[in-house]
């Protein structure tokens, strides 16, 4: 059974949502529903306790049963896959029939996973990524109107004005025991990757390595943080030791945040950006 990390209900939960988003990763299930005025009706994050890729149907059944008033609404749902097995390929090198070979070359034997190919939003790139086939079939059979996209396929819109300004920065989104990174140099995407971690030092090591590889100065380039990162934690203190321009990415421009109560807005920025701008 998945562990509830956050479960927040807004004042408008009794009305029909205008947008629904469900993010699925190896560690978490998250969903958010907002109305036409940008008010959060429901936002919940669950931590998965099993690494079995066949568990998703059962966990999703439980989630839908607990939130039937939301998911029974006749509103298309957006699925965000956030699995680590993803490779971005420039359009000029992309070949549809080579997708499985590329996935296997980069990520090893994925014979029990299905490979999806999609064009990156507003970009001359393709994303080749893998998901458990039982999960994808469940999603397609469960909803009449649904669309899906990988989180890394949204990078041109998630980067926002910083890309227009040709900035160099690293964005890190934190989950329980892991984080995902998108790194940009002069407004161009350079790296997408996910990392597990056990100690705070693991995180600083990976981030410093990224900055060094891309020749970014930790004293000058912004490190943009969001997701489940407590600013009173040893992890946040460790990060601040090495990076001078640490910013918490907030989300006031994407939705009315009154439903979040006292929870830090940066915990949910990635979800609200995905539902509002992707």
Structural domains in the chain, CATH included, are 157-277 (3.30.420.260)
Task: List the one residue out of 25, 85, 32 whose CA is nearest residue 59.
Answer: 25
Q: Which is more confident, 61 or 218?
A: 218
What would the pLDDT profile of 53-100 be if each residue is shown by its tens digit?
678 888 888 888 887 777 766 678 899 999 989 989 888 888 777 767
Q: What is the pLDDT of residue 262?
A: 86
Q: What is the pLDDT of residue 238?
A: 97
Q: What is the pLDDT of residue 106?
A: 66
Contact (Cβ atoms closer than 8 angstroms) between residue 39 and residue 11:
yes
Q: Dihedral sign, CA of 270, 274, 275, 276?
A: positive
What are residue 115's DSSP bridge partners? Answer: 130
Q: What is the pLDDT of residue 105?
A: 64
Averaged pLDDT score across all residues of the chain: 86
Q: What is the pLDDT of residue 277?
A: 63
- 98-102, 121-125, 204-208, 236-240: which range is least confident on average? 98-102
Q: What is the pLDDT of residue 153?
A: 93
d(CA 45, CA 100): 31
Q: Is the pLDDT of residue 109 over 80?
A: no
């Amino acid at each position: 059974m998945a562990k509830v990390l956050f479960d927040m209900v807004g004042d408008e939960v009794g009305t029909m949502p205008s947008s629904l988003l469900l993010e699925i990763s190896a560690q978490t299930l998250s969903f958010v529903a907002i109305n036409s005025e940008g008010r959060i009706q429901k936002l919940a994050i669950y931590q998965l306790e099993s690494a079995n890729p066949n568990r998703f149907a059962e966990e999703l059944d439980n989630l839908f049963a607990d939130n039937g008033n939301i998911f029974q609404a006749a509103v298309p749902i957006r699925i965000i896959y956030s699995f680590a097995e993803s490779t971005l390929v420039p359009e000029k090198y992309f070949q549809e029939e080579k997708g499985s070979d590329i996935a296997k070359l980069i990520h090893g034997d994925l014979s029990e996973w299905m490979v999806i190919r999609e064009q990156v939003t507003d970009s001359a790139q393709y994303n080749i990524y893998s998901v458990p086939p039982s999960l994808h079939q469940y999603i397609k059979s469960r909803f009449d109107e649904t669309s899906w996209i990988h989180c890394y396929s949204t990078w041109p819109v998630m980067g926002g004005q910083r890309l227009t300004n040709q900035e160099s920065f690293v964005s890190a989104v934190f989950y329980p025991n892991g984080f995902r990174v998108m790194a940009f140099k002069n407004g161009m995407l350079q790296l997408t990757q996910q990392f597990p971690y056990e100690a705070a030092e693991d995180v600083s090591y990976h981030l410093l390595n990224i900055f060094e590889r891309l020749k970014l100065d930790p004293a000058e380039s912004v490190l943009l943080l969001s997701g489940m990162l407590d600013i009173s934690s040893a992890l946040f203190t460790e990060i601040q030791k090495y990076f001078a321009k640490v910013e918490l990415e907030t989300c006031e421009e994407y939705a009315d945040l009154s439903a979040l109560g006292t929870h830090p807005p940066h915990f949910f920025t990635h979800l609200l950006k995905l539902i509002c701008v992707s």
